[in-house]
A and B are shown apart, each in its own frame.
Chain A
C-alpha cells in the first residue's frame, strides 16, 4: 500500500521539489499543505522544514518518529536532513523511511494461529466453507475471515497452492 506523505514547508519551491522527488523516484503522490494547516490528516510520513517544526511542537512531537526535519545547515540528528545534501542522500533517507513504513504495515505475525491451521487443514482436504464452519462450530463468515488471513500471511491464493503448503507442513486430517 502506498504510504501517505505530507509536506509542510514555507518555501514553495522546496515543497514542490520534494513532491516531484517523491513522485518521480517512488511513485508517491504527496500532499503539500500550508505550514500552519490543521487539516493534514494522519500520515505515515511528514516532511517539514525546521521553522514549521519548531512552531508547532504540539502537532509534531507526538509524530516525531514519522517526521523528517529539513534544515538549512548540516545536522547530525537522524531525523534531520540538510536541504543542501546531494540527491543520493535524500533518496536514501526517503527510501529508508518508506521501507520502514512498509515494514510496519507488514508487521502482522506471519505464522498461522492454531485456528487458521485448522481451517487450512480442512481447506486442503477439499471441504467447502459451510462444511468447515460446521466442523469447527463457527460461522461461515468467520471461516472466510480466517481464509483471508491465511492468504495474506502465506501469500498463496489458490486452493491447490494452499493444499501444497498444508502437505509441506504436515497439516493433514488425522482419521
Chain B
C-alpha cells in the first residue's frame, strides 16, 4: 500500500497515480510540481498538509480509512473538501462525460438506438447528482440538524448514485451492441470510472464522518 506523507515528493506519486491530480487541483495545487514535497506545496497554497495527505491516502487506497485520524481534523475541513469535490463533479467530471457521450452520439447519427438510451440514463443520473449537490449546498453550508430519517434518506441517495454509476458502466461494458466510436466510448467509460471512484471514496467520508457529525450536533 502506498502512503503519502507531508514529506513525500509528490511528482513521483502523480506519475505513478495520475488520478490524484483531481484531488490536488481541488486544493489549488496545479501541475508543474517540480521536486516539491507535499508540505512545500501546501505552504504555498495554505493547505493543511496532514489533512491533504490523509485525503490522498484514502483516495488512493480503497481499504484504507483512518477514521480516528480523520476525526481529529475539524469537520469544516471535510465539509470544504466535499464541497470542492461537488464543484468538480458539476464543472469537470459530468460535463466531460456529457461532451464525449454527445460526440459519440453525433458521430453515430442516430444509427445505434442503444447509445441514445444510455445517454438518456446518463442525463437522468446527471440530474440526480446535480440535485444532490444542491441538497449538499444547503446541508453543508448551514450544517443544520437533521433527523435520523433525513440522514437515512441522504445515505440511500448516496448509495443509489453509486449503483447507477456502476449500472451505466456495466451497461456499456457488458450490454452495448451495434456500432459506436471506440475511442469516444473508451473516453466515456474512463470518465464514469473516475467519477465513480471519486463518489465512492467521498461517500465513505459522508457516511462515516459527516452524517454522524451532523446527527451529533442535532442532539446537542
- Chain A residues within CB distance 8 Å of chain B: 154-158, 160-161, 164-165, 167-168
Contact = CB atoms under 8 A, between A and B. Distances in A.
B117 A156 contact: no
A161 B192 CA distance: 15
B175 A161 contact: no
B171 A158 contact: no
B184 interface: no
A167 to B, nearest CB: 6
Contacts, number: 43
Interface string B140-156: 00000000000000000
23 contacts: A154-B174, A154-B175, A155-B170, A155-B174, A156-B167, A156-B171, A157-B163, A157-B167, A158-B163, A158-B167, A160-B164, A160-B167, A161-B121, A161-B167, A161-B171, A164-B117, A164-B118, A164-B167, A165-B171, A168-B113, A168-B117, A168-B175, A168-B177
Nearest to A164: B121
B199 to A, nearest CB: 14
B168 interface: yes
Contacts of A165: 171, 175
Contact of B168 (A154, A161, A167, A168): A161
Nearest to A169: B175
A156 B166 CA distance: 8
Nearest to B176: A168
Given A164-B171, A165-B171, A165-B175, A157 B118 contact: no
Given A161-B164, A165-B175, A168-B175, A156 B118 contact: no
Contacts of A161: 121, 163-164, 167-168, 170-171
B170 A160 contact: no
B114 A168 contact: yes
A158 B160 contact: yes
